[in-house]
Structure 1
Amino acid sequence: MLALAWRWSAAALAPVLPLHLRRRAARGKEDPARLAERYGHGAARPPGRLVWLHAASVGETMSVLPLIEALAARDPALHVLVTTGTVTSARLLADRLPAALAPRVAHRFVPLDVPRWVARFLDGWRPDAAVFVESELWPNLVAATASRGIPMALVNARMSARAARRWARAPGLARRVISAFRLVLAQTEADAARFRGLGAPGATCPGNLKYAAPPLPADDAEAARLAALFGDRPAWVAASTHPGEEALVIAAHRRLAPAHPGLLTIIVPRHPERGPEVAALAREIALARRGAGQDPGPDTQILLADTLGELGLWYRLARLAFVGGSLVAHGGQNPLEPARLGCAVLVGPHTWNFTEILDRMAAAGGLVRVDPGPDPAAMLAEAVGDMLTNPGRGQAQASAAAAVAAEQAGLPDRIAAALVLLLPGPGDTSAAPGGNLAAAPALSGPPGERTRVDGT
């Protein structure tokens, strides 16, 4: 009944969704030139074998880049379709996809979960296998994929204890959804155990793809130019900050500046469009806005890096990073990104998005947790000041963090080896693309705008 209710509701809402998409496009949340893809249009299926990877947003997209390379290396004739739901993820995929792979990889925005739009998408692309990344499951999309007999895998899968308890209240539905995936590869052993308990007896934990992502890129010439502007000034970066954190970072800077002459604080908001809002917080502090084309001068105290895709640049220049989304109740951002580039890493208390990774970094001595206490700005300033005053300690911590980040460099190839088994062989002409194996059972998920395995 829940499945039918969602299907009917999605179909009933279809007439008003174009208006919703146009409004999102006006706010920069959709690409106006590519709205047709949200209705399932735009298929351009290449000949031969095609694997479809669905990665919801930026984090998932970046984590599968090494997997795409590993799949391409194992099967020189394979083509890859990547779908995402955000403009930012599409831009970053285009920027970071190796040039040699670009002709074999297509990107489309995932269709909205309306039955006929989903059917149009699948009819056009006819993938030989579908790989969902982490936890996003759109009910109609998953049901239609399974009903066509397209083998499905859930990789880097995650499920919180809270989400598992919710699914356990409807055990039949949980088994129906989870068992549709022929391959479930979880991030952690705890995740794998939860999936096994809900209907995926073969769920395993080969590792976390976020450990295997390549270092964030940076333009070498721009890095050299900015390094000359920075000189020998002490610098730290507050990366991927969220509303409420920038004010704390600025307050921490005010406390640190008298003890660290020339201190440069780099603030990188998670959403660059918040640049003007963040700049307004730095009253009476000399600030330069990267998004406005401004360079830091000798008197600049805060560099607001309100641009997209340049975190690799700031991690290379600062060497000390506070990872945002952790002083507010967001759950934290990826701490492995600064670790791969030799940064000492600081996080706040709200880090449930990366619990297992952070626990391993902390056990290795590669992490500083900031206890906010009654005055979070003071505690952040104390932690940053300690690192600036004791560079040897920061370097040792950065080395330990980098070692943890490098632990699973071979994981993408191991996952690729499992995924290629879902594909038809090079000489298999017995079945048309998009239906090479026995049909999987139809399935559905609970209703909601976005249904994710982790319940968020």
Structure 2
Amino acid sequence: MWPRLYHIVTAAAAPLVTALIQSRCRRGKEDPARLGERFGIPTMVRPAAPLLWIHAASVGEANSVLALIDRILTERPLLELLMTTGTVAAARLMEERLPPRARHQYVPVDVPRAVERFLDHWHPDMAMWVESELWPNLILATRRRGIPLCLVNARLSAGSMARWRSLSGLVRPVLGAFSLCLAQDETQAERFRELGARPVACAGDLKAGAPPLAADGAELAALRRCLGERPVWLAASTHQGEEEAVAAAHQRLAATHPGLLTIVAPRHPVRAATICGMLESHGLRVVRRTSGDPITASTDIYLADTMGEMGLFFRAAGIAFIGGSLARKGGHNPFEAARLDCAILHGPDMSNCAAMTEALAQAGATWRVADAASLAAAVSQLLDAPGERARRAGAAARVAAAHSGSLDAVLQRLTPWLDALAPVVDREAELAGDPVAGVAERPRMRAVAGDARA
């Protein structure tokens, strides 16, 4: 009943959804050149090979599966991949980071006509959804077409759990469409079981197992030359309201640390102009990375308003505050900083990465702050004590290394479905001149999916 009612309501609301997307486009939140994709109109040809479709809502979720995508496509050269996301920032990142044989499209709005257009064109052989952005029409239509679905890195906050529980008549059929649910930890697994997902397994957090963020060597060398011996720290993935705290912390620190440079990397670079104006209103001299202007001795703030370069800034800074944690947004992946020799600071809300944060805290690798004053005090102590900074950074790196097995665990669980889609190719046999020897017999997709759901 509930899925049918949702289908009717969303079909009737199609004109309103169209108006909403057009409004978002005017505000820079949609790509005008690719707006048709949001209504299921493709801008690429579907490849003839077996096609795996992965959907990730935004930058964080998309980043978390890049290593998984690399492994899958490397091991299975007969496979092609479609990646969908819902934000402009994630689309730009995917254009830079997706490997060969992978292509990106925007996810269609969850209106029946857009969903059917999308599936009619792409008709993927398997679908994999990341974390917890679940669109009922799209998921249920995919399942009706006999396409197996897997939910990976599944996570629900306590608040989302309460909301989903109140909509159980819709949520249960949607989660029941998945052939497999791989949760980040046992707490998350229990939440998904309660909501009706079956089968559910705990495979670890893909964000914890992601490789170090990449950085262009020439760009890193150039940035380090600009920094010289100046004291520097990074505010990474900041949200609205946090830049004000960072500005106040910088002003406190500058009084005792001459030449201080603070790097601010907002989570959403589209906010850069607003952030720049706010910082300048505090009397701070700002250089935006996108301007191409050099950092000078008088620069107070380097505004890192680009996508896909966080690995560069972590490597250059050595001290990193994790944004989204003062603004009560749940924080962001601290292991990204931990893998790149950073001492880590964060605010009180790291609920998006609770297990990782707890492991770092137990190792004495993080510093929790509450406001601009405590942030400034913590950064000051780390700048004044290089040995303590190195100790905390080393402890963080060891914790991150100890939690690097989640990628293998997820791949192991997905193997029956992936084997049914496209076989693994033994590269040694292929290089030896016998490509057929390395290809396992391809089992039937529907048999595997049916067995797993029984």
TM-score by length of structure 2 reads 0.89
Aligned pair 1:401/2:396, yes or no?
Answer: yes
Q: For 1:246-282, what per-residue CA distance to the aligned partner results, in whole angstroms no more than 9, with x for missing partners?
A: 1111111111112212111111222223223222333
Aligned pair 1:229/2:230, yes or no?
Answer: no
Partner secondary structure for residue 211 of structure 1: coil
The residue type equivalent to 1:304 in the other structure is L
Deviation of 1:156 (Å): 0.2
2:416 maps to 421
The residue type equivalent to 1:297 in the other structure is T
The residue type equivalent to 1:29 in the other structure is K
Q: 1:135 aligns with which of 122, 132, 150?
A: 132
The 3 A distance-change label for structure 1 pair 172 and 249 is closer
| Structure 1, unpaired ranges of 5+ | 442-456
The residue type equivalent to 1:7 in the other structure is H
Which segment is superposed worse, 384-393 or 329-338?
329-338
Aligned pair 1:111/2:112, yes or no?
Answer: no
Query: What is the rounded CA distance, in whole Å, between the counterparts of 1:171 and 1:303 in structure 2?
Result: 47
Query: What is the rounded CA distance, in whole Å, between the counterparts of 1:197 and 1:287 in structure 2?
Result: 50
* Structure (1 or 2) with the greater helix fraction: 2
Query: What is the rounded CA distance, in whole Å, between the counterparts of 2:300 and 2:15 in structure 1?
Result: 51
Query: What is the rounded CA distance, in whole Å, between the counterparts of 1:123 and 1:94 in structure 2?
Result: 24
Partner secondary structure for residue 255 of structure 2: helix
Query: What is the rounded CA distance, in whole Å, between the counterparts of 2:198 and 2:450 in structure 1?
Result: 19
Query: What is the rounded CA distance, in whole Å, between the counterparts of 2:168 and 2:86 in structure 1?
Result: 29
Which segment is superposed worse, 315-324 or 42-51?
42-51
Question: Is the 1:156–1:185 Cα contact (8 Å) retained in structure 2?
Answer: yes
Deviation of 1:429 (Å): 9.4
1:86-235 equivalences in 2 (<5 Å): 86-97=87-98, 101-102=99-100, 104-169=101-166, 173-235=170-232
The residue type equivalent to 1:60 in the other structure is E
Question: Is the 1:156–1:209 Cα contact (8 Å) retained in structure 2?
Answer: yes
Question: Is the 2:264–2:303 Cα contact (8 Å) retained in structure 1?
Answer: yes
Q: Between the two proteins, what is the percent identity of the paired residues? A: 49
1:79 maps to 80
The 3 A distance-change label for structure 1 pair 393 and 73 is same
Deviation of 1:296 (Å): 1.4
1:202-351 equivalences in 2 (<5 Å): 202-282=199-279, 283-351=282-350
Deviation of 1:8 (Å): 1.5
Query: What is the rounded CA distance, in whole Å, between the counterparts of 1:162 and 1:305 in structure 2?
Result: 32
1:18 maps to 18
Which segment is superposed worse, 122-131 or 161-170?
161-170
Q: For 1:383-438, what per-residue CA distance to the aligned partner results, in whole angstroms no more than 9, with x for missing partners?
A: 1111111111111111111222223434324323332412436566978xx99955
The residue type equivalent to 1:411 in the other structure is S
The residue type equivalent to 1:81 in the other structure is L
Question: Is the 2:208–2:404 Cα contact (8 Å) retained in structure 1?
Answer: yes
Q: For 1:207-248, what per-residue CA distance to the aligned partner results, in whole angstroms no more than 9, with x for missing partners?
A: 110012222222211211121111111100111111211111
The 3 A distance-change label for structure 1 pair 112 and 175 is closer
Aligned pairs, number: 431
Query: What is the rounded CA distance, in whole Å, between the counterparts of 1:301 and 1:78 in structure 2?
Result: 49
The 3 A distance-change label for structure 1 pair 168 and 265 is closer
The 3 A distance-change label for structure 1 pair 176 and 273 is closer
Deviation of 1:326 (Å): 1.1
1:358-373 equivalences in 2 (<5 Å): 358-370=357-369, 372=370
Deviation of 1:170 (Å): 5.8
Aligned pair 1:6/2:9, yes or no?
Answer: no
Deviation of 1:131 (Å): 0.6
Query: What is the rounded CA distance, in whole Å, between the counterparts of 1:367 and 1:430 in structure 2?
Result: 48
The 3 A distance-change label for structure 1 pair 61 and 296 is same
Q: For 1:142-190, what per-residue CA distance to the aligned partner results, in whole angstroms no more than 9, with x for missing partners?
A: 1101111211111000123343344445656544332321111101111
Deviation of 1:138 (Å): 0.4
Query: What is the rounded CA distance, in whole Å, between the counterparts of 2:197 and 2:277 in structure 1?
Result: 50
The residue type equivalent to 1:401 in the other structure is A
Please give the root-mean-square deviation of Cα atoms over the aligned residues, in Å: 2.4
Deviation of 1:341 (Å): 0.8
Query: What is the rounded CA distance, in whole Å, between the counterparts of 2:205 and 2:223 in structure 1?
Result: 34
Question: Is the 2:126–2:421 Cα contact (8 Å) retained in structure 1?
Answer: no
| Structure 2, unpaired ranges of 5+ | 423-440
Partner secondary structure for residue 107 of structure 1: strand
The residue type equivalent to 1:396 in the other structure is R
Query: What is the rounded CA distance, in whole Å, between the counterparts of 1:274 and 1:126 in structure 2?
Result: 36
Query: What is the rounded CA distance, in whole Å, between the counterparts of 2:344 and 2:444 in structure 1?
Result: 53
1:454 maps to none
Question: Is the 2:321–2:346 Cα contact (8 Å) retained in structure 1?
Answer: yes
Query: What is the rounded CA distance, in whole Å, between the counterparts of 2:444 and 2:206 in structure 1?
Result: 34
The 3 A distance-change label for structure 1 pair 25 and 172 is closer
The 3 A distance-change label for structure 1 pair 250 and 167 is closer
RCO higher in structure (CA 8 A, sep ≥6) = 1
Question: Is the 2:263–2:303 Cα contact (8 Å) retained in structure 1?
Answer: yes
Q: 2:379 aligns with which of 380, 384, 387?
A: 384
Question: Is the 1:150–1:439 Cα contact (8 Å) retained in structure 2?
Answer: no
Deviation of 1:36 (Å): 1.6
Query: What is the rounded CA distance, in whole Å, between the counterparts of 1:277 and 1:417 in structure 2?
Result: 45
The residue type equivalent to 1:369 in the other structure is R
